[in-house]
Amino acid sequence: MNISFQYANRSNTSVLLKIDGVLNNQTVCFLVDAGEGVDIDSLIDEDKNEYLTGVLLTHLHLDHYSTLGENLRDGAKIYTSEENERILDTVLSEANSNAEQNFDRQSIRSAVTPIADSVTIGNNLTITPVPAGHTPGATAFYLEFDTGNGTETILITGDFTRRKVAGYPGLSLHDTDTLILTGATSNDFRDSITSAVDNALQQGVSGSPTLVTASGLNCVHFSYLLGHAVKRSSQSLQVNIVGQAAKLYDALSYDVPNVRAIQQYDPAEVVEAGCITVSGPDIPNSGGSKLLFDEIRDDPNAGLIQLISSNRSEIAESRCTTNQYVLVNHPSMETIENTVELLDPKQVVVTHQTGDGLERYRDQFSTIVWAPKSNKTFNLYEDGKWSPPHWVSDGVIKKFSNDSQTVSLSAVQPSSVSFERTDVDLEEEGIYPNRLTQLSEHDSQNNKYSTTASPEPGPESAPISPETGQSPSGKEVRTDGAAAQPATEPVDTGNTPGGIEQTLRDIESSLDSIEGKLESRSEIRAKAVHVDSETVVLRTVSAEEMPDVGESVVLQRLTE
189-326: in CATH 3.40.50.10890: yes
**Ordered strands of the 151-156 beta sheet:** 119-121, 125-131, 139-146, 151-156, 178-182, 347-351, 368-370
pLDDT value for 439: 72
Mean pLDDT per 10-residue interval, the chain, length 560 residues: 96 97 93 97 95 97 94 96 96 83 91 95 93 97 92 97 97 95 95 96 93 96 97 91 97 97 93 92 91 95 93 76 94 96 95 94 92 93 89 70 63 82 94 85 47 36 37 44 42 44 60 60 57 55 50 43
Phi-psi region of 435 (alpha: psi -120 to 50; beta: other; left: phi over 0): alpha
CA distance 369 to 350: 7
Element at 276 (helix H, strand E): strand 275-279
pLDDT value for 509: 60
Query: Where in the sequence of the chain do the CATH 3.40.50.10890 domains occur?
Result: 189-326
CA distance 46 to 54: 16
Which residues on adjacent β-strands are paired with residue 80? 114
Query: Where in the sequence of the chain do the CATH 3.60.15.10 domains occur?
Result: 2-186+330-416
CA distance 298 to 50: 59
Which residues on adjacent β-strands are paired with residue 4? 18, 379
CA distance 258 to 262: 13
pLDDT value for 9: 97
2-186+330-416: in CATH 3.60.15.10: yes
CA distance 487 to 476: 8
CA distance 368 to 381: 14
pLDDT value for 476: 43
pTM (two decimals): 0.80
Phi, psi of 356 (to 5 degrees): -65, -35
Strands (DSSP E) found in 478-552: 523-531, 536-540
Residues 6+ apart with CB under 8 A from 293: 211, 213, 284, 304, 315, 318
DSSP states along 11-23: TS--EEEEEEEEE
Strands (DSSP E) found in 33-118: 50-56, 77-80, 112-114
Which residues on adjacent β-strands are paired with residue 349? 180, 370
Nearest to 317 by CA among 327, 307, 304: 304
pLDDT value for 463: 39
If you compute the radius of gyration of the chain from its CA atoms, what whole number of angstroms results? 27
Beta-sheet pairing, 523-531 with 112-114: unpaired
Distances in Å between the alpha carbon of 160 and those of 58, 59, 136, 328, 550? Answer: 9, 10, 11, 11, 46
